[in-house]
Amino acid sequence: MAAGAGARAGPGEPKQFRPILGVPMLLRALRPFTSHPDVGHVVVALPAGFETRPPDWLGKLVGERLVLVAGGATRADSVRAGLSALAAHVGIVLVHDGARPFVTRDTIDGVLDKARAGIGAVAAIPVSDTVKDVEQERITRTVARDRLWRAQTPQGFPRAMIERAYAELANGDAVPTDDAELCERAGLPVEVVPDSPYNFKVTTADDFRIAEALARELR
């Protein structure tokens, strides 16, 4: 998923195309999947218009294994567009944020294993901070964190499961913030896969500075 406007990252080109140590963020997010031996088809959802005129570095990757589609007004719309573009033989679907450039092979494998077993899977990390419920800047309570996890991506599902979940999303329903939420609403089983905090989502200009530092450490 790379169809967002990325407004919180500041002015300039779409954030997914911006470089991290000279490598476009979206390309960093793609490489662990395009190099994975069990990933046979990759669909990239882009802001409308970019699917026909992508950056050169992305256009060079387009072919039988990787295709580009126009995303929609919401994440759910973009996921639907991606699902409709998947090859017919694909039985397991992984959904990943183009703004998470540091996903590891181990995380991908863990999500794949659960999806192959017939359940939904979400890369996630336990919440370690103290969490406050706040209303108009006033703390109303401290939330117990022992059962709280931060959902990340990739999120993986048997194709029939994720397509059923999206088919049940009706106009007027609350917009889901991730794909697992739709499966939860439909009563379908979803489990977490312990992930690394390095697999964070780059959202703001400060996040890009953190990503640059992490990229230097990991290279």
Residue entry with tokens 């395009």: 34
Residue 149 burial (CB count, 10 A): 15
Q: How confident is the model at residue 12 (pLDDT cuts 50, 70, 90)?
A: low
Q: How confident is the model at residue 6 (pLDDT cuts 50, 70, 90)?
A: low
Q: How confident is the model at residue 130 (pLDDT cuts 50, 70, 90)?
A: very high
**Is the per-residue pLDDT at 173 higher than 90?**
no
The arithmetic mean of pLDDT across residues 93-118, rounded, is: 97
Domain enclosing residue 94, as ranges: 7-218
What is the rounded distance in angstroms from the CA atom of residue 48 to the CA atom of residue 149?
33
Domain membership of residue 1 (yes or no) is no
Q: How confident is the model at residue 169 (pLDDT cuts 50, 70, 90)?
A: confident
**Is the per-residue pLDDT at 59 higher than 60?**
yes
Domain membership of residue 58 (yes or no) is yes
Domain membership of residue 128 (yes or no) is yes
Q: How confident is the model at residue 196 (pLDDT cuts 50, 70, 90)?
A: very high
Number of structural domains (the chain) is 1
Q: What is the mean pLDDT of the chain?
A: 93
* CATH at 114: 3.90.550.10
Lowest mean pLDDT: which of 8-12, 118-122, 130-134, 210-214? 8-12
Measuring CA to CA, which residue among 137, 109, 136, 135 is closest to residue 123? 109
Q: How confident is the model at residue 11 (pLDDT cuts 50, 70, 90)?
A: low
Domain membership of residue 2 (yes or no) is no
Domain membership of residue 25 (yes or no) is yes
Domain membership of residue 27 (yes or no) is yes
Angle between the 159-167 and 75-85 helix axes, to the nearest 10 degrees?
130
Confidence at residue 127, expressed as pLDDT on a 0 to 100 scale = 96
Domain membership of residue 132 (yes or no) is yes
Amino acid residing at 29: A
Residue entry with tokens 């991290």: 20
Domain membership of residue 212 (yes or no) is yes
